Structure 1
Amino acid sequence: MKTFITAFLLMLGFQSLDAQDGNFVETNGVKIYYETHGEGEPLLLLHGFSLSHKAWDSWIDDLSHEFMVITPDLRGHGNSTNPSKEFTHELSAQDIYGLLDALKIDKVKAIGQSTGAMTLTHMATMDSTRISSMILVSGTTMFPLEARKIMETVTYERWKGHMEPHQPRGEEQIRILVNQFRNFAKTYNDMNFTSPYLATITCPTLIIHGDRDDFFPVDIPISFYKSIPNSYLWIVPNDGHIPIGIYGRNSIWSDVFYKVLIEFFNGTWD
């Protein structure tokens, strides 16, 4: 009996420690949920639209040996709130800067995929000095016709399967996010980065893009590369909008990506 009680108390202790990994910061009219893992220089990971911090789970163990990894849920996603039900990538950037301010973090390295990359693009053009280096995966400067056509056709029924593990508030939360995504098809001012604007980004930037991306054709990452002064470009062959196994590490490029990000963030590239 004593052994059982001891084991039970230990289990409760571990659950308590796990619970302490997640926290909220109130900023910009929302509550942003975030987790931190490891110690060292901060590395911010921003997920794509319709996902959550859980999308990065397969990377946490390795990255937390190198960095203090910060994985927030973007506004309205996962455990984060969004009372206004408004989502723009500019607002998302303001949220994340509010999170960093609350954590008293002046400068970060960062990786973002799709909406995460678009959020980082806004952040870097707002204040490039706060991002020491960043990796943009499947980002864009604007929404081309190809993307708008896909956005218009997204439905709750099509997306609920991959969203349910990420959205704890269930159907209502998923439907709100689906509607926000569909509204992107009718917006033109949120993602509208011209070359002179992108040229203000001073931090080293690695641009990664699949050559079969259905949303954003390869001329978009090429325009990123040509516009951002200190940038590098990796076009991944035969890969789509979620390239290099960025979620799940299930690609032949996943191990290569890990080696690349460590080398890139170590600042050894000229």
Structure 2
Amino acid sequence: MTHAMAPDGTRIAYQLHGHGTPLVLLAGQANNHHWWDGIRTDFHPARSTLTLDYRGTGDSDKPDIPYSTELFAQDVIAVLDELGIDRADVYGTSMGGRVAQQLAARHPDRVEALVLGCTSPGGPHSVERGNDVRRALAQPRPGAARQALRELMYTPRWLASHPGPHHTLGDPGMPAHARRHHLAAGNRHDAWDILPDIGAPTLVVHGTDDLLNPTANAHLLADRIPGARLHLIPDARHAYFEEFRTEAGPLVLDFLTTARKPS
């Protein structure tokens, strides 16, 4: 297992596959790099893919200290530094999109082009999920909350033909303290004031039927980030990138290729 060292001494595991211009893939909250297992090869004809295990997940260290999306972004920088990558394209989904916002706004020299998927700006300006969704995810009956999450991620038709395992439902090996810190990091995220500082070409992607992270957040991001493009995928829920991979993957690659063309 290959690791980079964060400034505070935390070891961050990372995985680099494929050949060509690197594309950094950032996973959702309380998930490790396996979030991307089902689709990362879709990018390999054109790109190499770089993933990491957030602190608290996978093979990274799991310090019992406060986490934040800004801290996760610093961990991404540590991985890029370890590999000698000056600038990279970044594709973040869900909480990974929040980390990507911090990365692009606070480290603009390191991000060539940016894709934000199924994410939000956080803070008081964001649109929160409904109380019915909160209740579904807080069910005490064993397995009920996990099934609710599965149904928020994927459509019933897709679940009927893809029984799993699903790698987007959380890292099963996380200790309890790391889960708490990940939840707190997501809840504290508020990038509203720094979104206008993002100078990288940006694509915002969201499913029209996403209730876990309401679709209205995509419009907020696209309006707040200068020059951002918005693409909504009809009928898609939170894990649009996997279920609707035949649309989402080419969309992202086409955008990144266009963004890199000389003006």
Q: TM-score range by the shorter chain?
A: 0.7 to 0.9
Of the three residues 231, 239, 242, the one matched with 1:242 is 239
- 1:206 is displaced (CA, Å) by 0.7
- Distance in 2, Cα, partners of 1:242 & 1:62: 16
Counterpart residue number, 1:25 = 4
| % identical aligned pairs | 23
Flag structure 1 segments of 5+ consecutive residues without an equivalent.
1-21
Q: Is the 8 A contact 1:147 1:216 kept in 2?
A: no
Structure 1 residues 163 and 50 mapped into 2: Cα distance closer, same or farther (>3 Å)?
Answer: farther
With over 3 angstroms needed to count, the CA separation of the structure-2 counterparts of 1:145 and 1:219, relative to structure 1, is: closer
In structure 2, the CA distance between the partners of 1:215 and 1:101, relative to structure 1 (3 Å rule), is same
Structure 1 residues 166 and 242: CA distance shift in structure 2, 3 A: closer
Deviation string, structure 1 residues 30-89 (Cα, Å, up to 9, x no partner): 211111112211110111112211121222333223212111111111111121343211
Given candidates 76, 80, 84, the residue that maps to 1:104 is 84
**Pairing partner for 1:150 from 120, 134, 141:** 134
**CA deviation map 1:191-239 (0-9, x unaligned):** 2223x52111111111011222223323321111111112110122222
1:69 aligns with 2:49: yes
Say which SS state the counterpart of residue 266 (structure 1) adopts.
helix
Aligned residue number for residue 8 of structure 1: none
CA 1:150–1:263 in 2, change beyond 3 Å: closer, same or farther?
A: same
Q: Aligned partners of 2:139, 2:24: CA distance in 1, in Å?
A: 28
Q: CA RMSD in A?
A: 3.0
Does the 8 Å contact 1:109/1:134 carry over to 2?
A: yes
Letter of the aligned partner of 1:24 in structure 2?
H
Q: How many Å separate the matches in 2 of 1:203 and 1:107?
A: 11
> For the Cα contact (< 8 Å) 1:89–1:122, is it kept in 2?
yes
Q: How does 1:222-261 map to 2 (within 5 A)?
A: 222-243=219-240, 246-247=241-242, 251=243, 253-261=244-252
Decide which of 25, 38, 53 is 2:33's aligned counterpart. 53
Flag the 1:147–1:51 CA change in 2: closer, same or farther, 3 A: farther
TM-score by length of 1: 0.76
CA change 1:59–1:84 in 2 (3 A) is same
**Aligned residues between the structures:** 236
Alignment of 1:1-270 (within 5 A): 22-29=1-8, 30-143=10-123, 144-146=127-129, 150=134, 153=138, 158-159=145-146, 167=171, 170=173, 173-183=174-184, 187=187, 190-194=188-192, 197-243=194-240, 246-247=241-242, 251=243, 253-267=244-258
Q: Tell me, in whole angstroms, the C-alpha distance in 2 between the residues paired with 1:24 and 1:105.
A: 15
Output the CA distance in 2 between the equivalents of 1:81 and 1:163. 20
Q: Distance in 2 between matches of 1:36 and 1:202?
A: 26
> Normalising by the residue count of structure 2, what TM-score does the alignment of the two structures yield?
0.78
Deviates more, 1:105-114 or 1:151-160: 151-160
Kept in 2: contact 1:153–1:182 (CA 8 A): no
Q: Distance in 1 between matches of 2:118 and 2:226?
A: 19
Partners in 1 of 2:45 and 2:170 — Cα distance?
25
User: Distance in 2 between the 1:154 and 1:203 partners?
Assistant: 41
Q: Which has the larger radius of gyration?
A: 1
